Structure 1
Amino acid sequence: MTAPSDQAVRHWFITGASGGLGRHLTEHALRGGDRVTATVRRPAALEDLRETYGDRLTVEILDLTRPADVGEVIDRTLRSEPVDIVVNNAGYAVVGAAEEMTVDQIRDQIEVLLLAPMLITRAFLKPMREQGGGRIIQISSMGGQIGTPTHSSYHAGKWGLEGFTESVSREVSDFGIRLTVVEPGATRTGFASALRYTTASAAYRDTAVGRTRRLLESADESLFTGDPARLAAVIYDTTRHPDPPLRLTLGSDTYDAVHAALTERLAALETQKELAASVAFPR
């Protein structure tokens, strides 16, 4: 399939493209005439798209918990052609009390949600700077702005990613590189069915942890209001905007939850104004 000729073809690098939002973004970019390098963990996950779009889609097998592999895939991609848009999309969540989580569960969660996007972002900054610009899209969630029981490691990764992105966005704006954090709400991507659970302890059964775990275990994703195809379309359109937002809040549930969290934090901050000033040296 040939690309439309009315605009320049862009090259995307998308992680976690085998399903959910990553696949929808991959499809949307290909339909728009762009090229995509998509990373997956299952080799056959995008075979149908390869048959449709031919060499405009390159599929790379990548495990984000293996930093050395991340570097090899990026080097191979950049040797092929420059990358215009990077989407750090891959992710999952470990559910359970912090006390229940194993060291390996915590480490893998942080490596996938924070370390890998940091390394991928860092690897593309120099080539984007040298080519005069680029876009980096970080897929966060409402969990990058709020905190709920059972998601402590997930929140650590997402909050960390948002802080990292805000800092880097200010470092590279002079080079024409724009970063955007996308904060979707409950979306029908299969994410809920892919949750990984800790071994439950009796101590937390009747606490907020136990109640949240049971709610998630019985979650009906058909009730989620977020349409991944519509999210992909909005994100795609944002990459065409010359001055994209730093944060893109998508979903009424996200808007309401983040608004409430920020309002609560601001109210708490305002009560500490005098206390904050009290620790200064006397004049």
Structure 2
Amino acid sequence: MSAYAWLITGASSGQGTELALAALRAGHRVIATARSVAAAKSAVPEIERLGGTWIWLDVTDANAEVIVAEAVKKYGVNVLVNNAGYGLRGVLEDLSMSQIRAQMETNFFGALAVTKGAIPTFRSQCSGTIVMISSASGFSGTPSQSMYSASKFALEGASESLAEELAPFGVRVLVVELGAYRTPFQNAVAKPEDVMSEAYKGTVSDLTAQRITAGHGRQAGDPVKAAEAIVDVVTGAGKGKDLGNIFRLPLGRDAVSRAYTKMKLFSNDIENCKDLANSASFDVAWEGYPPL
């Protein structure tokens, strides 16, 4: 029996499906979740054929934490993957607060509920890996999808703290920053012409959204290779054998490029303002703060 049992949210399509299949093909056990198990079984019969198990889960459901806690115990889960989520297109000015809250409810609060369900068992057994499926837009903001970026930035911020909170218990947190991948993800994202108000037509937001839409189906990212990479990094196999200590895993050439660009801009800002920044402190401060 495999030492790895994966619980993967949003496994009925896209990257979630490919990750479930990659884990199963590597000989691991998989508990795949979907909001409609019947539809998922019909859409992806390979998961059951390879030995995977489907369970119902809506990450926004009030009982999501309890459902995950019970599943983790029942199936001996030791790898949790927060993959469920969707993209929201539109500039902040044009989005309603209900749209904004719904985006955060699924991509951020839903992931936290699922994670809280797994933590007690992972902590008590002093082992386990929590994988947060983020995005290049969760490290480098994207005009035309500010709230999608916000949901992933929030997830990454929480994950940074969570990684340190759980490290004493032998539990790992891994953030995966996906670039543009050839999955159905963009099928559910509104077209620019349907959401971009007149004031923003022709601006960087509109042009970025148009470029993303035009590139759908031709993205450079291979979801099968991405899934295999995640499995390798989690298990320390293949190309992931020396990556047991990494926290962020950017996947795709575009994700790597955007990360380097962001770090360069951030480094330049720090260098340019460091004298001013350091001057905004008391001359004598408490030596024990800030924490190292």
TM-score (norm 2): 0.87
Alignment of 1:118 with 2:112, yes or no, is: yes
Residue of structure 2 equivalent to 1:237: 232
Amino-acid identity (%): 35
Residue of structure 1 equivalent to 2:263: 262
Residue pairs, 1:1-283, within 5 angstroms? 8-43=2-37, 44-47=39-42, 48-49=45-46, 51-53=48-50, 56-66=51-61, 68-196=62-190, 199-222=195-218, 224-241=219-236, 243-282=244-283
Structure 1 ranges of 4+ moved more than 4 A: none
**Whole-angstrom CA distance in 1 between matches of 2:10 and 2:175:** 16
User: Is the 1:37–1:58 contact (alpha carbons within 8 Å) kept by the matching residues of 2?
Assistant: yes
**Whole-angstrom CA distance in 2 between matches of 1:252 and 1:10:** 29
Helix, strand or coil at the partner of 2:183: coil
Post-superposition Cα deviations, 1:36-70, rounded to whole Å, max 9, x if no partner, equal 111112322234135413xx42212322232x131
Change (3 A) 1:282 1:31: closer
Query: In structure 1, what residue type is equivalent to 2:270?
Result: L
Which of 25-34 and 192-201 deviates more?
Answer: 192-201
Query: In structure 2, what residue type is equivalent to 1:40?
Result: A
Question: Once the 2 structures are TM-superposed, how far is the Cα of residue 215 of structure 1 from its aligned partner?
Answer: 2.5
Count of aligned positions: 273
**Whole-angstrom CA distance in 2 between matches of 1:51 and 1:172:** 32
Question: Once the 2 structures are TM-superposed, how far is the Cα of residue 209 of structure 1 from its aligned partner?
Answer: 2.1
Question: Once the 2 structures are TM-superposed, how far is the Cα of residue 79 of structure 1 from its aligned partner?
Answer: 4.4
User: Is the 1:185–1:252 contact (alpha carbons within 8 Å) kept by the matching residues of 2?
Assistant: yes
Change (3 A) 1:75 1:281: closer
**Whole-angstrom CA distance in 2 between matches of 1:166 and 1:75:** 22
TM-score (norm 1): 0.90
Query: In structure 1, what residue type is equivalent to 2:59?
Result: L
Change (3 A) 1:114 1:188: same
Query: In structure 1, what residue type is equivalent to 2:272?
Result: T
Tell me, which stretches of 5 or more residues in structure 2 are unaligned? 285-292
Tell me, which stretches of 5 or more residues in structure 1 are unaligned? none
**Whole-angstrom CA distance in 2 between matches of 1:83 and 1:218:** 39
Change (3 A) 1:25 1:244: farther
Q: CA RMSD in A?
A: 1.9
Query: In structure 1, what residue type is equivalent to 2:210?
Result: R
**Whole-angstrom CA distance in 1 between matches of 2:224 and 2:89:** 26
Post-superposition Cα deviations, 1:177-236, rounded to whole Å, max 9, x if no partner, equal 0111011211111112221356332111132222223333333322x1111111111110
**Whole-angstrom CA distance in 2 between matches of 1:126 and 1:63:** 20
Residue of structure 1 equivalent to 2:290: none
